[in-house]
Amino acid sequence: MEKQSKKLPIKHIIGYVTSVILTFVAIWAALGSNLPVMWIIISIFLLAIIQAAIQLFLFMHLIERGMGNAPWNMMFHGTIIFAILIAGSLFTMSFGFM
């Protein structure tokens, strides 16, 4: 641990820059592109999925070795919470009204 390498973390910089670009593309798609609403929704969803993948692979140690199953464990629980959040909100906010 005494001598940590001080070279640039090139992977992280690429990931960060791509994320920023994708975010700006999404903002442009939503605010400046004049696409039909359905296409805006589809395109920003696609951009979101790409960005999530970048986060997971470049930052979240998903492909790093020696982490045990901790990342998978957290992703499992995160997915469950996510499912509750989405399904639960739809259920309570859209169904059952008289």
- For another protein, the binding residues (CB under 8 A) are 1-2, 4, 6, 70, 77-78, 81, 84-85, 88-89, 91-93, 95-98
Which CB sits closer to another protein, 33 or 89? Answer: 89
What minimum distance in Å lies between the beta carbon of 18 and another protein? 18
What minimum distance in Å lies between the beta carbon of 85 and another protein? 6
What minimum distance in Å lies between the beta carbon of 39 and another protein? 19
Which CB sits closer to another protein, 10 or 70? Answer: 70
User: Residues 15, 59: contact at Cβ < 8 Å?
Assistant: yes
- What DSSP element (H or E) covers 89? helix 70-94
Q: Minimal CA–CA distance to 43: which of 57, 60, 24, 30?
A: 30
Rounded CA-CA distance 22/50 in Å is: 9
